[in-house]
Structure formats: C-alpha cells, structure tokens
Amino acid sequence: MLSTLSQCEFSMGKTLLVYDMNLREMENYEKIYKEIECSIAGAHEKIAECKKQILQAKRIRKNRQEYDALAKVIQHHPDRHETLKELEALGKELEHLSHIKESVEDKLELRRKQFHVLLSTIHELQQTLENDEKLSEVEDAQEASMETDPKP
C-alpha cells in the first residue's frame, strides 16, 4: 500500500511539474510571438523607408539622365571659347578694314576738293580772258570811231 501511495504521489508530482513546464513554455512562446510581431512591424517600417529611398534614387537617376541627354546635344555644338576667339578676330578685321575705308575716303574727298579748286580757277581765268578780249574789242571799236570823227 505504501508503494502504491508513493507511486501515486510520484505521478502526481510529475504531472504538476509537467503542468508548470507547459505554463512556462506558453509564456516563452508568448514572449517570442511578441518579439516577432515587433520585428515584423520594424520590417514594415524599413520597407516603407526603402521605398521612399527608391523613389528618391529614381528621381536622382532621372535628373542625371536628363543632364546626360542635354550634355550630349551640347557637345555637338562647337566650344564657346573658340567661337569667342573667332568672333574677336573677325571684329578686329572689321575695324581694320573700316579704318582703311575711312582713310581712302578722306583722300578721295581731298582730291575732289583740289580738283574743284583747280576747275574753278580755270573757269575764272577763262572768264577774265574773255572779259579782256571783249574790252580790247570795245577799245578798238572806240579808237576806230574816234579816228573817223576828228578828221573834218
């Protein structure tokens, strides 16, 4: 009888221990479950963050590609410095040529004026010669009439 009693006590003690163990296992599982939930929430947040970063990175890539596209087009055009230099050289040539033109025009004006003076003096001389001729004709005519008058 003692042995059956002790056996019963033993099995009851065992079941009590198993019960305790199960309770503690449950608590453990609850703890792990909560931890996993937290990490899932954390992962969700990280995913949202990463999505935002992806959008930002896509925007940056788009800007970079736009820049590249424009840069390609710009490369086709000649360099700005070279064109500026060419423009300067052309400007200097233009100035030089305009100087020459001015000096030539001045010379032309001078010659024109001198020629004008020459022509006008010639005309004047002609005029005076004609006047002199006329005067001498008139004087001859007067002398002839005076010679015929004092005769009688």
The C-alpha atoms of residue 122 and residue 124 are separated, in whole angstroms, by 5
Nearer to another protein, 55 or 108 (CB): 55
Whole-number Cα distances in Å, 101 to 96, 113, 129: 9, 18, 42
- Binders of another protein among residues 66 to 85 (CB under 8 A) are 66, 68-70, 72-73
Nearer to another protein, 56 or 103 (CB): 56
Helices (H), the chain: 2-76, 80-148
Indicate which single residue of 14, 59, 92, 134 sits in contact with another protein (rule: CB under 8 A): 59
Nearer to another protein, 70 or 97 (CB): 70
Does 52 contact another protein by CB under 8 A? no
For residue 65, the minimal CB distance to another protein (Å) is 4
The C-alpha atoms of residue 45 and residue 87 are separated, in whole angstroms, by 61
DSSP one-letter code for 149: S
Binding site for another protein (CB under 8 A): 55, 58-59, 61-62, 65-66, 68-70, 72-73
